[in-house]
Structures are given as C-alpha cells and as structure tokens.
Structure 1
Amino acid sequence: MRIKDIVKLTTKSIIPNHETMYHLYSLPSFDENQNFEVLSGEEIQSNKFIVPDKCILFNKLNVRFKRVWRIDNKDVNKLCSTEFLPLVVDESKVDYQYCYYLLISDRITNYLCGQNTNTSGSHKRINPEDFLNISITLPKMSIQKCIGRILYDFDQKIALNHAINDNLPMPDRSLREVGVRHVA
C-alpha cells in the first residue's frame, strides 16, 4: 500500500476575490502560532489552493520542520499556500488521526529529507509524486483508532500544559543559582 492509496491530493486553486475575506493557512502563520490568518483577497494577491473541510495540509517545503496541519472545520473561504499539499483522508481505509501521526512520523520525514530537490540551500522541496508513492503498512482499523486517539489525547494534554505554563509567572531563580551568597 502507498500513501496515495489512503489520501487524495486536492489541488484546486483560485485567485482570491479582492472583496472577499479568507482564512489563509500559510507557512508564516503555521510557524507563528499554528492558526490561520484572516485576510482579504486583495491582501493575498496570488493564487492559493482551496482547503477542504476535513483534510491534512502537508508542507512540501523543508519537510524536516514537520509543518503538517489537521483541518477539521466547515469555515468558508479557506485557502492555503501552494507550498502545502491538501490531503483528503480516505477514512474507509485509515483513521484520520492515525493518518496525521503517520505523516509526521520520523520514518516519513527522514525518507522525504533524502528525496527533496533543492531550489537553494535553505529551500528544499519534495516532489508530491515521491511523497504519494511512499510504501506504508497499516494496522487494523481498530488499532489505528486506538493509536490515533491516544496520541491525539497526549497532544491535547501537552497543549493544555503549555497554555497553563504560559500563564504562570516565571519562578525567581534562587540566589545560589546565580552565584549570590547570603551574608549574615
């Protein structure tokens, strides 16, 4: 089995309408906070891919950074950079969450890092056909669902812990840690 057997690449593109507001999934917005930007078509200016309601956006530029986005919403006017591959998961063959974790696995990333083509030293882009033709083996659907649910729950717990930690004051370092001696 290959990745192309479990996902469908959808690359329908549009030139954004200047008067319309869009949710744009871009590399900078992924890197900044993994949240879409709300922009007018006039601000976007170039053609973009239409984002399906439920898909996984897989970045084809510098895959070592694992810019992979789960999209599961019915928002209107969703677009993404053409540096993403919008993948619709065939949920009759693979669990959506399991597929996401498969796509961000070190095995897939390491393979693609060896296959990418250089546009420059800092811009290494994969060929979508190489990506879609990667051989995979899937466990039974019940095992996929279990693994996907456990990993998703871990990610949610980590995100919650980050949010809690971001709201806590930084602890004062002890005087001993900074080399200050208490003189009595």
Structure 2
Amino acid sequence: MELKKYKLADIAKIEISGVDKKTIEGETPVRLCNFVDVYYNWAITKDKAKRFMIASAKQSEIDRFSIGKGMVAITKDSETKYDIGVATYIADNFDNVVLGYHCALITPNPTIVDGKYLNAFMHTQYIQKYFENNASGSGQRYTLSNDTISNIQVLLPPMEVQRTIGKLLADLDRKIELNRQINDNLEAMAKQLYDYWFVQFDFPNEEGKPYKSSGGAMVWNEKLKREIPQGWHCGTLLDIAEYTNGLACQKYRPTDNNKLPVIKIKEMHDGLSADTEWVKTDIPDDVKVFDGDVLFSWSASLEVMLWAYGNGGLNQHIFKVTSKNGYPRSFYFYQLIHYVGIFKQMAEARKTTMGHITQDHLKQSTIALPPNVDIANKLEEKLCPIFDEIVKNNQEIMALTKQRDELLPLLMNGQASVNSD
C-alpha cells in the first residue's frame, strides 16, 4: 500500500485550548469537552455531550474551540507522559460544546485526510512513542508544544483506503459504545427495582401488592434511625456476605503456561491488558475469580463491580464477596454499593482522603434485614438475568476492544486490508 508522508500542520489546523472550567458572568454558557472526556473515549457523540460539565467561554474562544464532526481532539498536558497525545474523534456536530484546556483541537483538511483515519493513526504505537519522546517537562507535569504536535509525520494511504479503515474502526467503537449504553440502562433498571423493594420497602406483600404503599406495618428502628417493615431487624454487611481478601500474588509467579491473570484495582477499572501480570493456577480456590463474581476494592478506588473478564487470581486490596446466611448476590451487591457511597460522602464532608474500608468498618455498618431470605431470593430471580446480560455485554466489549486494538497497527502498516465483506 502506497503511503504519503505529511507534517500534521500541512494537512490540518491545530488549536491549543485554554478554556477553563469556570463560569464567569457576562460570558456565554457552554458545555466543556474536558481532558477526561477525550482520554476515555475513542469518539465523542451527542449522547456523551449530554453529560459534559457546564462552564462559560468568551465568543473568541467559542469561535476557535467549538467541536464539530470530523475533528480530532488530543490530550496535551498531564502528570505522566503516557497520558498525553491520547486522541478522540468528534463524531457529531454540536451546539455550544467547546474543547477544554489541557487539550488540542485538530481540524483536518478533508480533501487530504479523513478525520476517522487520523484519529486511528493518532492511536498507533508509533505516535504514542513520538509523544512520549518529545514531551517537555519532567516529574510534576508533561506537555506537548504546538511545534511538537505540528511536526507529527502522518502517513496517509489514498483517501478511499483512509475512509474504509477509519469506518471499520469507528464501527467497532460504535458497537462497544452501544454495549456500554445497554449496560447503563440495564444497571439503572436493576437498581430501580432493587430500590423499590428494599429502600422504599414496596416489595410484594402476601397479596402481591406493594408492601408499604398498601399500608404494610412500619416500625421505628433506633439503630437505623428510620422506619422499617414490621418483623425486620438491623444487621450488618457481615451478616449477609463473606469478604475474602486477595493474595500477595508476587509469591505465586507462574513457571509455565498454567497461569491466570492477576486482578488488581487497575484490572477492576479497565479490564485485562497487555500489562496485566500472571499468577499460578494452583492458588487457593477462594481467591480464584470467575465471571459474575462480586469484587470490592477496599482501598484506593473503593469500587464494587461484577467481574466479567474471565477467570483470574485476586490480588491484595480487593475482597471477593460471596453469600452468607443464604443471602443472594443482588442483595449484598447493592447493600455494599450503598454503604461505600455513604463512606465516600463522609470522607468528602470531612475533607479527608477516602482511606480504606476494613472488616471492622463492615462490622459497624447498619442495614435493614428481612426476617428470612425468601423476599431477597424472589428479587434475585428477577435480577439474575439482568446481571448475566450485563456480564455478557462487558465480555463482548473486551473482545471488541481487543479486536480493534489488534487490527489498528495491521491496517495502518498495510499488513491487513478491508475487503468488501
């Protein structure tokens, strides 16, 4: 495949944004596409823009930094040089959406370079190494100068090939994003149903009617400082689940191909990657992780999730949460999420770091428990298929992401091509 070489500045306009997050009287209200929005997304769509923060900008800033379909944005400044130069494609046109500071806006010349292709090119290892090697600063802050960005050597195939490659990778990303949206809706639906039953206490009574709304007896509980259904009592998170801490996995390094990926906080947040470490398969069964297991990072991120990325070995600082006294997964999953949310709010109110949650914290927790697990199991029957679908979609997201990332260098250097099928 014939590739022509261009300097980025010769085929695109480059603008360094300085629009901050402030709202200033007299300026025009705008939505800001910020560093994190660029960093975490292959493409920016109208659905994502609905969640962008509100700020304000001068008209001159709006004229220069408004994002629109076909543009590419990149991160420009960060604490580490590995987080700069991360690109996203602007997939739609927007009203009053402006690129925020610490980012650069690239407007391709559409007669020479396709925006989707340019976005893909900016994700290649070649470009990432270029940014790492040419970033200025050290220790506290790294940045890309206008000259560094302008002098990127862009390799372009014919426009028809650019569009074909760009579309294929963008289509894969759209499917990934669609799965995320489906999961957002499934998670919201499951949480709403759980809240209806066990926060509002409108679980079905003996006649199938909502308990509290139909006049079910409620009594004040002094420990919980609220009314709960008659016959219920105050318990703790340790009454409904077991919390098994992970291993110091460096003691279990594999010596052959019988190995499992190590699940650390990074893997909980981002899934498995090329940087994921490995552990022997003959670790204790109670720290082996399977799809659908509930994991809880009790330090740092304080995150509760359904694992969906294949069998693994659990590292320290993460609890594997399993049933106790017959309580089902959905019940202890949402009770734990609620507790972690309160813990974070208290830390924010004290203006302290969030710290970590210990078994003692869990022992001191207070939750409303039914007289038996029957009502929790009835809701589990409804939520289990939803949880399974969420796990399945996350598995597909990981597979599609892997496919996209593996195809990227092959398509860019001509080792693979896109045929009519």
TM range (shorter): 0.7 to 0.9
1:90 to 99, 109, 131: 109
Q: In the alignment, which residue of structure 2 is the partner of 1:41?
A: 56
Residues 124-177 of structure 1: CA distance to partner in whole angstroms, max 9, x if unpaired? Answer: 11112112112222111111111101111111122223344553788358xxx9
Alignment: residue pair count: 172
Q: TM-score, normalised by structure 2?
A: 0.35
**Residue type of the alignment partner of 2:128:** T
- DSSP 3-state at the match of 2:161: helix
1:148 to 163, 166, 174: 166
Unaligned runs of 5+ in 1: none
Measured on the aligned residues, the alpha-carbon RMSD in Å equals: 3.5
Q: In the alignment, which residue of structure 2 is the partner of 1:116?
A: 135
Q: Which has the larger radius of gyration?
A: 2
Q: In the alignment, which residue of structure 2 is the partner of 1:4?
A: 9
- DSSP 3-state at the match of 1:79: strand
Residues 28-52 of structure 1: CA distance to partner in whole angstroms, max 9, x if unpaired? Answer: 444678744241429x9xx786224
1:56 to 72, 96, 104: 72
> Whose helix fraction is larger, Structure 1's or Structure 2's?
2
From the superposition, tell whether residues 117 and 40 of structure 1 become closer, same or farther in structure 2 (CA, over 3 Å).
closer
From the superposition, tell whether residues 111 and 90 of structure 1 become closer, same or farther in structure 2 (CA, over 3 Å).
same
**TM-fit CA distance, 1:77:** 2.4
**TM-fit CA distance, 1:80:** 2.0
Q: In the alignment, which residue of structure 1 is the partner of 2:396?
A: none
Greater displacement, 161-170 / 1-10: 161-170
**Residue type of the alignment partner of 2:292:** P
Q: In the alignment, which residue of structure 1 is the partner of 2:32?
A: 24
From the superposition, tell whether residues 87 and 32 of structure 1 become closer, same or farther in structure 2 (CA, over 3 Å).
closer
2:144 to 126, 139, 142: 126
8 Å Cα contact 2:19-2:101 kept in structure 1: no
From the superposition, tell whether residues 89 and 30 of structure 1 become closer, same or farther in structure 2 (CA, over 3 Å).
closer
1:5 & 1:115 partners in 2: Cα distance? 19
1:3 & 1:73 partners in 2: Cα distance? 22
Residues 30-88 of structure 1: CA distance to partner in whole angstroms, max 9, x if unpaired? Answer: 4678744241429x9xx786224232111111462354232244433222223111111
Counting aligned pairs with the same residue, the percent is 21
8 Å Cα contact 2:34-2:99 kept in structure 1: yes
1:135 to 135, 150, 153: 153
Q: TM-score, normalised by structure 1?
A: 0.74
2:93 & 2:139 partners in 1: Cα distance? 38
From the superposition, tell whether residues 104 and 26 of structure 1 become closer, same or farther in structure 2 (CA, over 3 Å).
same
8 Å Cα contact 1:13-1:50 kept in structure 2: no
Q: In the alignment, which residue of structure 2 is the partner of 1:171?
A: 292
Q: In the alignment, which residue of structure 2 is the partner of 1:78?
A: 97
Unaligned runs of 5+ in 2: 1-5, 191-290, 295-312, 314-319, 323-421
